Structure 1
Amino acid sequence: MSSTPATPGLPISAQTIPLFPLGSTLFPDGRLPLQVFEVRYLDMIGRCIAQGSHFGVVALTEGAEVRRPGQSERFVGVGTVARIKQWSKPAAGLMRIDCSGVERFRILKAEQHKHGLWTAEVELIEADRVIPIPDELANTATALEHLLQSVMRQGLPESEVPIAAPFRLDDCGWVANRWAEMIPVPVAQKQSLLALDNPLLRLELVQDALDQLGWLK
């Protein structure tokens, strides 16, 4: 089956959502391609597509992305709602989906069901305020712009570009989130960035990490 647009997302009003624990952190406006083959997630994604609903992505602190008998799963308390943008079924028992991050949420109560699927009662976290990038942090935006230009020169299909448009290179939160997705730091450090309510502080911490990595000139 060729790639088909998912049903347009509905407003997130319900406070209970299914969860997809992963070994990585999804940030708002981030791009998340997934290959889905576990029955618990095939069923969940099928329902999300049919209903135009969303699911939550949370980072694992214990366990693996693929469930094994007797394996326990633990995950962080703050995650990001994922909206399905495109999906396809290249083979029986396999789905490919392209998702984008929407709102952040905080888990109030989580429950694992008989077939392994987690659901959680959540409260949504207010979206970042739009804060212009101050001069002392401008090098983070400039470096990201150069990286984007380099990627675009490769002529990759839009679906393979790791950062989705529109590019908001003058917004502290957006720039911080894009770098936070890419920098090679532990998941716990990424989670602390995700949970911050101050996008300016998040970008300051990202700048420190980029300096340590030698990614800024």
Structure 2
Amino acid sequence: MTAGLQLGVIGSLALSVASSVAIVICNKALISTLGFPFATTLTSWHLMVTYCTLHVAQRLHFFEPKAIDGHTVILFGFLNGTSIGLLNLSLGFNSIGFYQMTKLAIIPFTVLLETIFLNKRFSETIKLSLMVLLLGVGIASVTDLELNLLGSVLSGLAIATTCVGQILTNTIQKKLKVSSTQLLYQSAPYQAAILFATGPFVDRLLTNRSVFAHKYTTPVVVCSEYFM
């Protein structure tokens, strides 16, 4: 029984890593190779599909929905939606390597914020590990030949919003005793709506192109569907 459970956990982790890597590669191909730079709009489509999938899952009783007050849901949805949008924009304007460094940098900065504002304490081993991680991120960043000002600014904003969003998520889950799935199910429509409304304008501002005027070739449609 225990061996079967461990294999299930290992399989789930492997599938999660594989799907995450595949989505990053597919998203980068869409933006850089296939000429579809509308990362914010693409994220709104992804979140709409996420909500629809979770709705079907809860109707099939894979999880029980739990009511959460509107203020909390909107605040979480705004922060999380902004975080996801900025991460995808960071991927669009940076190399995959720098994007991955951005995601790694979220961990130590989240710990730093929790230490400063929440008075949390971490062991010396964890602090040493985070210092090594930050050193690696710093070296990788300064040696990245594709580093640019806009990409760096977007990465910095992505790190800030993601850190705050993760701390807020942890706080909400503990306070309201809800799972991450229940919280995502309640907030996904708000996240999708925010990015769906602002995405075309943000994408046009950053790329000087309109998502509505884009020529949707078969490869673009296939990659978009896979990403979602």
- Whether the TM-score (by the shorter chain) exceeds 0.5 is no
Structure 1 or 2: more strand by fraction? 1
The TM-score with structure 1 as length reference comes to 0.24
Task: Say which structure is richer in helix.
Answer: 2
TM-score (norm 2): 0.23
Higher relative contact order (Cα pairs below 8 Å, separated by 6+ residues)? 2
